[in-house]
Amino acid sequence: KNEVEQSPQNLTAQEGEFITINCSYSVGISALHWLQQHPGGGIVSLFMLSSGKKKHGRLIATINIQEKHSSLHITASHPRDSAVYICAAHPNTGNQFYFGTGTSLTVIP
């Protein structure tokens, strides 16, 4: 059983499209993290949120604690956004993350 589920697994979009990646979790959490991994590259933290919404440039992350759901949105997508996006839940108890298996995004020029 996966405590964190992401959808879709793979996503292809045209440049300029609005993109949404979803994350659902089944455990009580203290925070939800969104991570980005470029092909062959390291992992970078994009957002850490425990309520509401955060925005950084063209990226927006939202979380609904009651529904145990978070979304990552990318506005005006660009080929450089092509990467794997990983959702990670930090549970209320314990100190280890539960990771989703990632969403592979490809933005075509």
Partner 1 sequence: IAGITQAPTSQILAAGRRMTLRCTQDMRHNAMYWYRQDLGLGLRLIHYSNTAGTTGKGEVPDGYSVSRANTDDFPLTLASAVPSQTSVYFCASRRDSYMNTEAFFGQGTRLTVV
User: Which residue in 19, 24, 33, 62 binds partner 1 (CB under 8 A)?
Assistant: 33
Does residue 24 sit in helix, strand or coil? strand
Residue 97 contacts partner 1 per CB under 8 A: yes
- Among 15-23, 56-64, 71-79, 94-102, the segment contacting partner 1 (CB under 8 A): 94-102
User: Which residue in 19, 72, 74, 86 binds partner 1 (CB under 8 A)?
Assistant: 86
Binding-site string for partner 1 from residue 48 to residue 77, where x marks contact by CB under 8 A and - marks none: x-x---------------------------
Residue 42 contacts partner 1 per CB under 8 A: yes
Q: How far is CA 51 from the centre of its chain?
A: 15
Nearer to partner 1, 66 or 95 (CB): 95
| The 3-state secondary structure of 38-107, one letter per residue | CCCCCEEEEEEECCEEEEECCEEEEEECCCCEEEEEECCCCHHHCEEEEEEEEECCCCCCEECCCEEEEE
Residue ranges in contact with partner 1 by CB under 8 A: 30-31, 33, 35, 41-45, 48, 50, 86, 88, 90, 95-97, 99-102
